[in-house]
Amino acid sequence: MTHRFDTAAPGDRTTPRILAEAHELIGAAARAFGHDEYARTLLAHCEYRLREPLRVALAGSIKAGKSTLLNALVGQAVAPTDATECTRVVTWYRDAATPTVTAHAADGSRANVIVRRGSGAHGLTFDLNGLNWNARGPREVDHLEVGWPSAALSQTTIIDTPGTSSLSREVSLRTARLLTPADVEDDARATPLSVSGADAVVYLLRRLDAADVRFLEQIGAGAGGAGPLGVVGVVSRADEIGSGRIDALHSARDVAARFAAELERTGLCQAVIPVAGLLAFAAATLRQPEFAAFEALSTVPAEDLGVALLSADRFARADIALPVAPELRAQLADRFGLFGIRMATMLIRLGARDSSALAAELAARSGIEELRSVLEVQFGQRAGELKAHSALSTLDRILAAYPGTEADRLRPRVRARLADVHGFTELRLLGRLRTDELPLPPPVLADLYRILGGAGVAAHLRLGLPPEADPNTLRATAFAAVRTWRGRATHPLADRATATACRAAARSAEGILAELPQPSHSQRK
């Protein structure tokens, strides 16, 4: 199955314009800096950021399940999930013709990394011992780059980060440097030009504590307001919340709802989704012998199987009489977890007749498809805007760091673009929509969320119309939306936050009208 984030919405002409303006401004800055090689190198990286796939970082506390979720999103075992040295450095996963793993030092030195494969859920390891650097002397690994043939990675570069709550301050700083460089204090590696390396963030939560909230606040304000605009929360390892019971995901959804309520008050996340990452990855890589084992286990009386599944160790014991070899049982527990085993056997009893049907059912129940849908709406359909925001924010910091040149005249234009691009305004409002506790009825808040693109950026989705709606219907509905939101914005009882949000909604509706084909003369009559 191919997984990807779509990078453009049908009929969206605004995003190419934003990208073109960003290219133009970066090019003008490069010409203005003349022979300053370092500044031009920074600008070349900035320009490349517009052309490469969207950068999405996976962040969260230690053992939150970031690498497992990455494997599930890609649908292949590309990231080590055991606690090895490679999980303590930032690792970039990009599409490539052949698999390669490269270690990078801070001074630009590189070394090839040996990849070792074993068995079970932790079968992939990057060996960082004895690296042969292309420079004299040993080097400290600054970050890893993994090239892997993948349809998902061809659309989205995924960045796996070390745990934010690591006992080692240096390990935690590696994530802070990537996502919140302006907030990293007393860090010798942080420079005035430090900028966020990600366009959007998926933040994994096992619980919601002060450290999570503080880090999410830093992401939102990172790099002087130039941090990633898109942040989606994931209640990770959701199957463990219910102690592996068959109703674990229901418990996880309750927890996600509580997390969402807390985060909505601060506007730190655009959505919070529960995901059983281990089950999602196992479903994507389900093998026929595993299906046959689940089939055999489904014949065991539910009470007897329940007793065997009291713990993973008990399930794999040789003295437990089950129609599956103990070694294979241990592998099932390692790959699927107790929740996955219970779910798989239940689904087979309910009618899953082959491995592909079982894999699809397990994936649907893991939450991974819901997460993909949210990521496509929040990140994929706005990829151009997210990348343009990152590039323009980086350009603004470069211009600030190199004053007194002809490039100074560009900074007001860059600041104006960052402030005026309506897509950026929509993203900020979607992230803070419920933060301001707007005094609007729930149906009006739902309309506001939709017109701002919270359910997708296509015209019919913004207007709440079916996909087959004709241009005349779209135009009439958009005209009505412009009038409605303008009226709400100018209502004498509307407070400042409400008026601002309503004006943004009216502008979104005006943007829809601008995108629609103009009616013919006969249609105007």
- pLDDT band at 244, cuts 50/70/90? low
Sheet containing strand 54-60, strands side by side: 110-112, 100-105, 141-148, 90-95, 156-160, 54-60, 200-205, 230-235, 272-274
* Residue-averaged pLDDT of the chain: 83
What is the maximum alpha-carbon separation in the chain?
A: 85
**Contact at 8 Å (CB) between 251 and 348?**
no
5 pLDDT band, cuts 50/70/90, is: very low
Q: For residues 280 and 239, is the Cβ–Cβ distance under 8 A?
A: no
- Residue with the bigger pLDDT between 426 and 120: it is 426
- Give the pLDDT confidence score for residue 9 in this predicted structure: 39
Task: Tell me the percentage of the chain whose pLDDT exceeds 90.
Answer: 39
pLDDT, one tens digit per residue, over 145-169 is 999 999 999 989 999 998 887 667 7
The structure's pTM equals 0.81
* pLDDT tens per residue across span 293-311: 999 999 999 999 999 998 9
77-81 LR contacts (CB < 8 Å, sep 24+): 77/123, 77/124, 77/281, 77/285, 78/124, 78/146, 78/148, 78/150, 79/124, 79/146, 79/160, 80/122, 80/124, 80/125, 80/126, 81/121, 81/122, 81/124
Model confidence at 81, pLDDT cuts 50, 70, 90, reads: confident
Residue 183 clears pLDDT 70, i.e. is over it:
no
The per-residue pLDDT for 182 is 59
Domain ranges of the chain: 281-366, 440-525
pLDDT of residue 223: 42
Where does the pLDDT of residue 202 fall: very low under 50, low under 70, confident under 90, or very high at 90 and above? very high
How many CB atoms sit inside 10 A of residue 438's CB? 17
* Mean pLDDT to the nearest integer, 43-65: 90
pLDDT at 10: 36
